[in-house]
Structure 1
Amino acid sequence: MSVWSELTGQRAAIELFREAARASVDPAGGVAGSGQRMTHSWLVTGPPGSGRSNLAYAFATALIAGDPDGDETTRIQVEARSHPDLHVLATEGVIIKRDDVRDIVKRSHYAPSVGAHRVIIVEDADRMTEQTSNFLLKELEEPPERTVWILCAPSDADLIPTIRSRVRTVRLQVPSVADVAELLERRDGVDPVLAERAARESQSHIGMAHRLATSADARARREETLRLALGVRSASSAVATAARLLELAGDDAKAITALRDQEEREHALRSLGLAPGQAVPAALRGQIKALEDDQKRRATRSLRDGIDRILVDLASLFRDVLVVQLGADVPLVNRELGDELDRAAAAATPAATLATLDAIQIARTRIEGNVQPTLAIEAMLVAAIRRPTPIRGAA
């Protein structure tokens, strides 16, 4: 099975990476007639859910295996993040600091252990501080011959210009709803109707589409979020709704992290030679404490991501309201809420709906800038209050 078979909607990028992987083992450094050449510093950009990390790991598999389609053994090790020639720089916090980079830079200078290349993947490279970016700069300029850096970020504009000038950028597009639905059917065995709805409601975000397709609780939380927003009629209801939305974001974050946290803890205990239920010796408690601290930082980030996801869903809701108001021939994201969308469209003008969409974006910006989420969401919901609009000429 090709390492690329579980990816979707990125045909041009996949072909480029396959050609580069083939070029990496060609003595001439290129593929006849392809125009492709291998470079040792890459940047993969694309919106959240476009699959940039998945593509980075698939490319890493091909490079390490020395085969443009990878091999099964390397794929399994890369997916488990256990291959000795793969190093991943990620953070459960808000930023990647210089200290986070220091150790992985040292490892980048080792020759590959068993593979054709040593690959370093930097997830969320946009979270690097400027000091960290400058520290990494020299490594991107002159990496060892068989070391490859792959950075991932939403946009090349999220990185400093000197980094951008030293990497080859591959820009991903948003997969189509049909592409994501087909992936859910093929990979996860999801019913076609549910797969299409999950792909549409996630707005082609592959990870979110998977969650909506496989978790009834996630679908229920999303639907409650939208109905709550449509039911805001006063400042007091805006305050109550904001509190409930934060509860839903918290529930969603816990659902995402709880299983992963438990699996990580069990794996850590096994690796330390401890049986299930066995007390942790004092000498090993520091390692378990470090793991718990990492999990707490991840929970904080997961909550922030959950709040932002709610705001993205609300933006899709009021985008649909605007489509109904304008009578535009554009597919609705939340078409199952047809009657509610019609009522919301009749309760305000298009200008008011545009103001609501602006308020949602302002709330996202404020929360990103560390404004208290409760205050930001309350202000947004006040702007979203729907009041019946008088009809001109009515008696």
Structure 2
Amino acid sequence: MINRSTRRPMLALGASGVALSLTLAGCAGGGGGGGGGGDGEEVTISYLVDNQESTVLVAEALIEEFESQNEGIQVELETRPQGAEGDNLIKTRLSTGEMNSVFAYNTGSLMQALNPDQTLVNLDDQEFVGLLDENFVKAVSTDNGVYAAPMGQAMSGSIIYNKDVYEELGLEVPQTWDEFIANAEAVKEAGDIAPIVQTYGDTWTSQLFVLGDFANVLAEDPEWAEKYTNNEAKYVDQPALAGFQKLEEVYEKDLLNEDFASATYADGVAMVATGEGAHYPILTFAASQLSASNPEAADIVGTFPIPGDNAEDNALTVWMPGGVYIPQSTEGAELEAAKKFVEFVTTKESCDIQGEIVAPTGPFVIEGCELPAEVPAMVSDQQPYFDEEKTGLALEFSSPIKGPALEQITVAVGSGITSAEEGAAQYDEDVKKQAQQLGIEGW
């Protein structure tokens, strides 16, 4: 058993190890797990999570509270590596029937790669499913079932910005791409502030103008993800080409920070926090980086969607949190205890623990769960879009196909080396290779 500890103060969640499929891998699962017998006997289940410090601290606190509410059930915590090594461990355990009683892992396309209908317990008959955000349910479902409860909060691929700069220059939050470019040019004219920050020293950050633009693609063609998966829609054509064009335009109009080629993710967050930069397209898990490096700017750095052409369709592209799953190898009394644990993950007590220990990245996706009273502005600024249902799922939650070379392609487009059309065509070829490897029909 793990050593129980008292509740920790809120942690900032780092970006290290975040592979841009662009999902946070703050997920769990474990190995083994003793079974419990009949009435009055203790049941032991195991819970596997990645070894990121914040993930472990949340898991410890959740286990402590769960065990206090469920006499006779003990939970053993096991950690796994992050990244590809952890992915391989999970797939190996599932294939050999040696997975932990409960594990946490990514949602969306990475979940689909686990072959969930054959490896995971269908939870669609559990009452908590009715409390879950529709977008999250889509991200953890197949035609045959629902396979996870959420762990953490949603986040968006959007533009964080310095509110003080906006106030000083008399700017308003843009509703269209043209308005955004006009704001950036106004910042440029004012001098001394980078209009738009890019951080290609961390190549994964170069993808946001493409991936974060997907809500605009959906607004124009709600069936685009399905067509894309069926090889009937391409990035080289509109509306998806627009993301590559935006990346190209901000470079060609000289709106970037001088050190965009070498600056890092941490540099980008700090630039916006201090007013050295006005805008930065990034995932809003940047709230955690901000809490760690520039907590004094929590109310200064806000967020808004990457705008499209139509103000009426202005919506956030959102990423769903990770999921907590039960493998089909979990059976009997162990399975019943595992279901109780997964149900507990969806309670207000669980959400409160998560929000207390780790700086939130966006709204919870469980009815009845609310953010702490004080969160960074870039988190609270997202809530109205969720409340008004002005959100669209990132592509990876609607399609299993994402080419591995996107971040190299977007660096080239964003650096003026490759045109938007050439980059989009290159990505379509990259995607084709991956779809064929996945054995998807029509490729």
TM (norm. structure 1) is 0.28
- Higher share in helix: 1
Bigger strand fraction: 2
Structure with bigger gyration radius:
1
- TM-score between both structures, scaled by the size of structure 2: 0.26
Relative contact order, CA 8 A, sep 6+: which one is greater? 2
